[in-house]
Amino acid sequence: MEIKKVGVALLGLGVVGGGTYKILTEKREAICKSDGVDIEIKRVLDKNSERIKELGIDESLVARSIDEIAADKEVHIVAEFFGGVEPARSFLIRALEAGKSVVTANKEMLSKCWHELELAARRGGGGVYFEASCVGGVPVIRTLTDSMQGNAITSMKGIVNGTTNYILSRMSDEGASYDACLKEAQRLGYAEADPSADVDGFDSTYKNSILSSLAYRTRVPVDTVYREGISDIDVKDIAIGKDLGYTIKLLAVSKCAGGAIEARVHPAFLPHSHPLSSVKGSFNALFLHGDNVGDVMLYGRGAGALPTGSAIVSDIAFAAGKERHRRFDFETEEVDRAKFVGDFSCGYYLRVIADSASLGKIIDVLRRNGVSDCAVKTVGENETVFVTHKIKESAAKRAVRDMELLSGVEKVAALIRIED
């Protein structure tokens, strides 16, 4: 087998960048034997000299700027680990315009700037690779792009954020409060000091945008994805849901029917029998449906230095073996916003605090908003849970507003969607 020599530059040597450096160094010979490419780290770009020393990187490999890397003829692939939109976007566009291929795990930057990267890749001739951007070390991107050609994907549901899954799993298993579980997640390193990207659903929204774009071969911008986080979830509702046969998860959901696309991120109850209900702790999973293959589920570690580094290295080896790079044409097309569904349908769990005399009036409100029948469960003094069949999101929110106008209703304490 003829060995192809490929030079790589690493932008950033933090947790994932350092993990990638270690994997590339330790697995260089094995990748060379299995893939026929000799991948050598030619350049690194990081201001932290202590980190460079800690990893044992030779000073001669340290670049002073992205321009130095872009001009280096021995660098063929640039892998980025900065996070955030800038300077990652500008640096990768510079590398692409210089003819390099790029590899990134940066879901925020990719979801917001993918079309710009794609145009720069066309100008320079390289490719854009991003397996590690969604669900860490689980090969969901490659499955969507290289394993599902015989299918039209009609729906996806995913647990795509390990921090929120850890928090909700602990709340469910131990009955601990949201605040207590968040603090523990921060202590263990699952959650950042500012956890808003995870717990408010931003991270999952970026991933849903990327995965839905790939699944339906059309650009699904971040601002078309409905987003709601987990900070208002009460352990009381989790316990009631368990009694009703449900498990709570922060879900990334998307569906495509007749050219209409809905994409959303929010907490949801799933039946205990659904495969995603058994995904616990910091693990992730994606459950998708193809018209020919049926249901497929991918499961594994969604984050961490080595799982994410593993996906980065996979992309580097994959890109290194390509003479021609895939072009995502949909990313350069004008977005047709008319095809995105904002008013989706699902079941609803409502916990209402109201006096017993208001029960009939609450049911009348639900009927006026399209609920022909619903399960009713008394869960405490002046507290009742209503579980509806599928109705429109607008109808559910209108019903909540109308209930709270009733004189005997103190408040609607919880609204949680139900996915089947």
One DSSP character per residue, 209-236 reads: HHHHHHHHTS---GGGSEE--STT--HH
**pLDDT score for 303:** 75
pLDDT tens-digit readout, 251-279:
999 999 999 999 999 999 999 999 999 99
pLDDT tens-digit readout, 219-241:
999 999 999 999 999 999 999 99
Residues of the chain with CATH 3.40.50.720: 4-136+310-332
Q: What is the fold, at CATH topology level, of the domain defined by 345-418? A: Alpha-Beta Plaits (3.30.70)
Q: Tell the residue number behind the tokens 């959650």, with chain if given.
A: 191
**pLDDT score for 92:** 98
The vertex-56 CA angle with 54 and 62, nearest 5°, equals 100
**pLDDT score for 159:** 97
Nearest-angstrom CA–CA distance, 113 and 351: 40
pLDDT tens-digit readout, 319-342:
998 889 999 989 988 899 999 999
Q: Tell the residue number behind the tokens 């940066």, with chain if given.
A: 106
CATH number of 4-136+310-332: 3.40.50.720
Taking residues 283-290, report their average pLDDT. 96
Q: State the amino acid at position 364 in one-letter form.
A: D
**pLDDT score for 204:** 97
SS3 400: helix
pLDDT at 305 over 80: no
Residues of the chain with CATH 3.30.360.10: 140-301
Question: For all residues of the chain together, what is the average pLDDT?
Answer: 95
- Hey, which residues does 101 pair with through a beta bridge? 77
Q: Which CATH architecture has domain 140-301?
A: 2-Layer Sandwich (3.30)
* Contact predicate 7/77, CB 8 Å: yes
pLDDT at 304 over 90: no
* Contact predicate 399/369, CB 8 Å: yes
Nearest-angstrom CA–CA distance, 12 and 44: 7
pLDDT at 155 over 90: yes
- Hey, which residues does 416 pair with through a beta bridge? 349
Taking residues 347-374, report their average pLDDT. 95
Residues of the chain with CATH 3.30.70.260: 345-418
Catalytic residue IDs: 207
H/E stretch holding 289: strand 283-290
Residue 1 pLDDT class (50, 70, 90 cuts)? low
